[in-house]
Amino acid sequence: MAVRAAVLPAIGAPLEITGIDLPDPGPGQVRVRLAAAGVCHSDLSLSNGTMRVPVPAVLGHEGAGTVVAVGEGVTHVSPGTPVVLNWAPSCGDCHACGLGEVWLCANAMNGAADVYARTVDGTELHPGLNVAAFAEETVVSASCVLPLPEGVPLVDAALLGCAVLTGYGAVHHSANVRPGETVAVFGVGGVGLATLQAARIAGASRIVAVDVSPGKEELARAAGATDYVLARDDTAREIRALTGKQGVDVSVECVGRAVSIRAAWDSTRRGGRTTVVGIGGKDEQVTFNALEIFHWGRTLSGCVYGNSDPARDLPVLAAHVREGRLDLSVLVTERIGLEGIPAAFENMLAGKGGRALVVF
């Protein structure tokens, strides 16, 4: 029986809501009925060509659902198990995995090139970022499903698969925010809201949210921001004024634009850390001069998937949810159906809202 999905027929083309035929799970595969899928900026980047994806494809990489069937050899989940999708499964064999840096696995995206399903007219489809969550059901590698710990609502759990792992990891694994430090978060979308909550959980003494939209202040403060600054030419100066003219200990950039990366760097105190989470295009050029790198003594680092190991970090995040420290609902500003994804993309481009959540 066909299931409904949002299909990207070609790069830059509009999404098509259509029926697709899924095969039964083969050896080492799992079929999942989706409960919800988050609409992430990476999905927009895939659809417009900023990031590469084989097409036609079903996008969506942040999801949670219930196992419907398993293939031969799958033992860690069974029909009825609630799961979170892991779009970047580590192989365990490459150089990065050998170093314990599973978020940099060289083979994590191998499955995205496979044909995993077909449209009802027979057109072959690829799974965007391995998991193809913009569909009522999907078939994925068993390595792409993680059992959902108890006490986390299944629909909200979709956010754990990308936004929360990324934002939490940026604070706790990449920037290593310590209690009492000051933090600035650039970009108040889904990942930015998760980053704000993570900074609060880490015990940051001052948390400054930065965004181009004045309408996001309430969202930011609900997530843990103590201050809200509009992104302008003098943003860094304003942040330094809030921190005794020093700048923050840590800046986390969640936008992926040259101007905001530079502003995050300029907002960081001498000897502080600037972590870049946002995924920018190759034409976004950021420049620094040699003298300022020496003088400021700052650290600038990239951050992939929050430098997270989903198998290790998911139980930690679930504990924060159960104990009330992490509120997943704060991230969600809109609950939509598959038909609402294009409008969610437009809202991202316009800088509106937090996370749109497709609820099946």
CATH class of 3-161+327-359: alpha beta
Neighbours of 122 (CB within 10 A): 7
| Model confidence pLDDT, tens digit, residues 59-78 | 999 999 999 999 999 999 99
Task: With H, G, I as helix, E, B as strand and everything else as coil, classify residue 284.
Answer: coil
Cβ within 8 Å of residue 306, ≥6 positions away: 103, 165, 166, 167, 168, 169, 170, 173, 174, 277, 313
Strands (E), 131-238: 137-141, 145-147, 182-186, 206-211, 227-230
Cα(55)–Cα(127) distance, rounded to whole angstroms? Answer: 9
pLDDT tens per residue, the chain (360 residues)?
699 999 999 999 999 999 999 999 999 999 999 999 999 999 999 999 888 889 999 999 999 999 999 999 999 999 999 999 999 999 999 999 999 999 999 999 999 999 999 999 999 999 999 999 999 999 999 999 999 999 999 999 999 999 999 999 999 999 999 999 999 999 999 999 999 999 999 999 999 999 999 999 999 999 999 999 999 999 999 999 999 999 999 999 999 999 999 999 999 999 999 999 999 888 999 999 999 999 999 999 999 999 999 999 999 999 999 999 999 999 999 999 999 999 999 998 888 888 999 999
> What type of residue is 85?
L
- Fold classification of 164-304 is Rossmann fold (3.40.50)
Which tokens hold the place of 217? Answer: 């202040």
Per residue, the 3-state secondary structure of 313-344, as one string, reads HHHHHHHHHHCCCCCHHHHEEEEECHHHHHHH
Instruction: Find where tokens 């192989």 sit.
Output: 91
DSSP symbol at 24: P
DSSP symbol at 8: E
Closest CA to 59 of 122, 157, 148, 126: 126
3-161+327-359 against 164-304: fold identical: no
| Model confidence pLDDT, tens digit, residues 23-68 | 999 999 999 999 999 999 999 999 998 888 899 999 999 999 999 9
Domain boundaries, the chain: 3-161+327-359, 164-304
Cα(237)–Cα(65) distance, rounded to whole angstroms? Answer: 45
Q: How far is CA 279 from the centre of its chain?
A: 10
Q: Looking only at Cα atoms, what is the longest distance across the chain?
A: 64
